[in-house]
Amino acid sequence: MADHAGTFVWYELTTPDIASAQAFYGAVAGWSIVDVGMPGVDYRIARAGDVQICGMMAPTGCEPPAGARPGWLGYVAVADVDASAARVTAAGGRVTFGPRDIPGVGRFCIAADPQGAAFALFRGDGTPPPMPPPGTPGPFGWHELHARDGEPAFAFYAGLFGWEKSMAVDMGPMGTYQVFARHGVDLGGMMTSPMPAAPCWLFYIAVESIDAAAERVAAAGGTALQGPHAVPGGAWIVQARDPQGTLFALVGPRVAASPA
């Protein structure tokens, strides 16, 4: 886990309608999703090919706050969950659940940064399986923090995970979009959100064609909020809501239509 420290290694969706969520994300992202038979909770794991991507669960049977608010949660790898949890609180954040062991899986806790955005800390048992190359359709390909104030938000996560500033994009009246990296590899971006909504992390699923994926969102009952539009680096993005109202996003190329 040491090599993965400071990177997102797992994602989890808590949803009020897990059957509908399974059908939606299966159609949009191409995931195969199966119930793992976890006692006391309906927990399902999504895969892209042979790679485990994320978990999904219904709030029924979950202890709050883990199941208190529907939405996506990202897990960041750390060497020591308890020590990292202590650093969260020392830096002005909150630990809202745990730390707790998952037998045969690892140890985790759920936290919130000083501005209220939720995330999780995780130390797995054993060596994580290798992930496919960046840009491969199916996995999450980008992580974006919508903060009330981007600069102190970056300072919090940099102190906790060792994240470094990478490219900074001037968005004009919307301020600066700060890309963050770990060991020189870009992981995502942070911005001071112009929206009045609560600070949150937004996770981007990599897709093979942004236009085709946007069409699948609409066909499956979701709603595109922004995009498709181009971003630095040549990718295209769509920000959307699933049928249960949960925010998520897509990132991928714009593929030219084949000539008739």
Instruction: For residue range 128-163, list pLDDT tens digits in order.
Output: 777 788 889 999 999 999 999 999 999 999 999 999
Asked if 153 contacts 190 with a C-beta cutoff of 8 angstroms, the reply is yes
Cα–Cα distance for residue pair 169/178, rounded to 1 Å? 6
Cα distances from 95 to residues 63, 69, 105, 257, in angstroms, run 14, 15, 20, 48
Domain boundaries of the chain, sorted by first residue: 2-124, 140-252
CB 70, CB 247: distance < 8 Å: no
DSSP state of 5: T
Cα dihedral 15, 18, 24, 27, rounded to 10, equals 130
pLDDT band at 3 (very low <50, low <70, confident <90, very high): low
Q: How confident is residue 64, by pLDDT bands cut at 50, 70 and 90?
A: very low
Per-residue pLDDT reduced to its tens digit, 156-194 = 999 999 999 999 998 887 788 999 999 999 999 999 987
CATH classification (class only), 140-252 = alpha beta
Query: How many angstroms separate the CA atoms of 202 and 248, rounded?
Result: 6
Structure tokens, 207? 């897709």
Residues in Cβ contact with 15 at an 8 Å cutoff, skipping those fewer than 6 apart? 21, 56, 57, 58, 59, 70, 242, 244, 246
24-63: burial string, b at 16+ Cβ within 10 Å, e else:
bbeebbbbebeeeeeeeebbbbbebeeeebbbbbbbeebe
Domain 2-124 belongs to what topology?
A: 2,3-Dihydroxybiphenyl 1,2-Dioxygenase; domain 1 (3.10.180)
Q: Rg of the chain over CA atoms, in angstroms?
A: 18
**Total-model pTM:** 0.93
Q: Is the pLDDT of residue 79 over 90?
A: yes
